[in-house]
Amino acid sequence: MQAALDGFERHLAAERGLSPHTVRAYTGDVRSLLEHAAQCGIGAPDGLDITVLRRWLAGQHGTGHARATLARRAAAARAFTAWARAGGWLRRDPGPLLGTAKIGRRLPQVPRQDQMAAVLSVPRSSGRAPETELALRDIAIMELLYATGIRVSELCGLDIDDLDEGRNTVRVLGKGGRERTVPVGLPAVRAVADWKRAGRPALARPGSGPALFLGARGRRLDPRTARRVVHARLAAVAGVPDSGPHGLRHAAATHLLEGGADLRSVQEILGHASLASTQIYTHVSVERLTAAYRQAHPRA
């Protein structure tokens, strides 16, 4: 069992190129499944069948896990059995028979356009000495996250050369190792340029490498630090929902659609593999569509 789990973990990281967070989550889910199988007297992956999978998932449901967690665990189980079948660990793959209840897809409350304008116009010092290195970094973080809609992990993974100031684009390495080029607005380009010119050199150390954003000790910025920066900046403006970095990603998508961007373009910007992932944002354009209807339809 352990050998199969180790092989599956290597498959997720090396062959599928999933993020460390996803690898940990899937590996933990499959470990839970295999422990349940062992309790049922099954000592090898080949003993897994649909009955074992369903009982395991039912047990997870009985412990009060959220539907989203159950859906992820079912997906992890299906990924494992498919891999195990392909690798000869299983004679038959029971995974396709394992179904899960559909989960409601909800967006967190995100800042409106006027609220984001207020957040980005907060005095640069944020209570510290004006134009300090960290203040310049924090401004660049906020501007770039909102301008591009990239994930916080993608932001922290950026290198200096990934931002093309001549073309106003940024090269991003997303989920599954997929690379994409995202347009960047001038305010974000200028904010990053200010950070590179007057902020980053003061924090850079011999071990900083090519990382675009650095922490206070000169190492590549950690996602947890980036999240703290976003939460603090949002909290500095009264009435703005504290939605965190992913809320800025949602806000970017929402405001693009409100401004008339087509769904395919937003999909490319966000790096969604499927258009279905992007369609969750279409509800935000109701006001725009209603206004267009009232203006154009003769019986509106």
Where in the sequence numbering do the catalytic residues fall? 151, 175, 246, 249, 272, 281
Bridge partners for 164 per DSSP: 169
User: Alpha-carbon Rg of the chain, whole angstroms?
Assistant: 23
The answer to whether the beta carbons of residues 223 and 84 sit under 8 Å apart is no
Q: Is 23 helix (H, G, I), strand (E, B) or coil?
A: helix
Instruction: For 34, list phi and psi in degrees, rounded to 5.
Output: -70, -35
119: amino acid identity, one letter: V
The answer to whether the beta carbons of residues 188 and 147 sit under 8 Å apart is yes
The answer to whether the beta carbons of residues 120 and 77 sit under 8 Å apart is no
Residue (of 150, 173, 180, 142) closest to 250 by Cα position: 150
